[in-house]
Amino acid sequence: MKKFFFKKRYFFLTIFTITIFVSCATYYQKNLKFQEYFRTGDFEKANIFLQNDNSKKGKNRLLYLLNRGVVSWMLKDQNKSLNYFNEADKIIDEQNKNLAIEALTLISNPNIKPYKPEDFEIVMINYYKALNFLEIGKYKEAIVECKQINIKLNELNDKHKDHKNRYQRDAFANNLMGLIYDANGNYNDAFIAYRNALEVYEEDYEKNFNVKIPEQLKLDILRAAYLTGFQEELRFYEKKFNKKYKHKKNQSYLVFFWQTGLCPVKSEWSLNFTVIRGSGNLVTFYNSELDISFPYYVSNKKERNALGITRIAFPKYLERKPVFKNAEININGKNLILDESQNINNIAFKCLKDRMLREIGASLLRMATKKALEKLAAKEDEALGAALSIINAVTEKADTRNWQILPYAIHYTRINLKEGNNNLKFKAYGSYDNIYEKDFIFNGKKRKTDFFVFHNLQTYNIKN
Give the DSSP letter string of 382-403.
Answer: HHHHHHHHHHHHHH--------
Q: Report d(CA 126, CA 177) in Å as an integer.
A: 12
Question: Given a cut of 50, is residue 16 above it in pLDDT?
Answer: no
Least confident of 45-59, 265-279, 356-370, 437-451: 356-370
The CA–CA distances, whole Å, from 50 to 86, 138, 260, 261, 264 equal: 18, 28, 23, 21, 21
Parent domain of 347: 1-27+250-464
Question: Given a cut of 50, is residue 5 above it in pLDDT?
Answer: no
Q: Report d(CA 170, CA 120) in Å as an integer.
A: 10
Residue 171 lies in a domain: no
Residue 77 lies in a domain: no
Residue 167 lies in a domain: no
Question: Given a cut of 70, is residue 29 above it in pLDDT?
Answer: yes
275 CB-near residues (< 8 Å, 6+ apart): 283, 284, 285, 286, 307, 308, 309, 310
CB burial readout 317-335, b (16+ within 10 A) else e: bebbbbbbbebbbebeeee
Mean pLDDT over residues 414-421, rounded? Answer: 95
Confidence class of residue 100 from pLDDT cuts 50, 70 and 90? low
Question: Given a cut of 70, is residue 102 above it in pLDDT?
Answer: no
Confidence class of residue 380 from pLDDT cuts 50, 70 and 90? low
Q: What percentage of the chain exceeds 90 in pLDDT?
A: 61
pLDDT (0 to 100) of residue 105: 53
How high is the mean pLDDT of the chain?
Answer: 86
Mean pLDDT over residues 256-262, rounded? Answer: 98
Q: What order do you get walking across the sheet with 310-318 strand by strand?
A: 292-297, 282-287, 265-277, 310-318
pLDDT (0 to 100) of residue 1: 44
User: Taking CA 340 as the corner, what is the angle to CA 338 and CA 342, rounded to the nearest 5 degrees?
Assistant: 140
Question: Given a cut of 60, is residue 392 above it in pLDDT?
Answer: no
- Top pLDDT among 21 and 221 is at 221
The CA–CA distances, whole Å, from 406 to 26, 91, 92 equal: 18, 19, 18
Mean pLDDT over residues 370-384, rounded? Answer: 60
Residue 228 lies in a domain: no
H/E stretch holding 276: strand 265-277
- What long-range pairs does 80-86 form, CB within 8 A, spacing at least 24? 81/128, 81/132, 82/129, 82/132, 82/133, 85/125, 85/128, 85/129, 85/132, 86/129
Helices (runs of H) and strands (runs of E) counted in the chain: 17, 12
Residue 156 lies in a domain: no
According to the per-residue pLDDT averaged within each range, which of 191-195, 299-303, 374-378 is highest?
191-195
User: What values do phi and psi take at 55, rounded to 5?
Assistant: -80, 5
pLDDT (0 to 100) of residue 97: 55
- Top pLDDT among 293 and 92 is at 92
User: Going by DSSP bridges, is the β-strand pair 292-297/310-318 parallel, antiparallel, or unpaired?
Assistant: unpaired
Mean pLDDT over residues 119-123, rounded? Answer: 96
Q: Report d(CA 358, CA 352) in Å as an integer.
A: 10
Question: Given a cut of 50, is residue 15 above it in pLDDT?
Answer: no
> What total number of domains does the chain contain?
1
Residue 178 lies in a domain: no
pLDDT (0 to 100) of residue 351: 94
According to the per-residue pLDDT averaged within each range, which of 295-299, 303-307, 430-434 is highest?
430-434
Predicted structure pTM score: 0.87
Question: Given a cut of 70, is residue 462 above it in pLDDT?
Answer: yes
Residue 278 lies in a domain: yes
Q: Report d(CA 394, CA 337) in Å as an integer.
A: 51
Residue 323 lies in a domain: yes
Question: Given a cut of 70, is residue 396 above it in pLDDT?
Answer: no
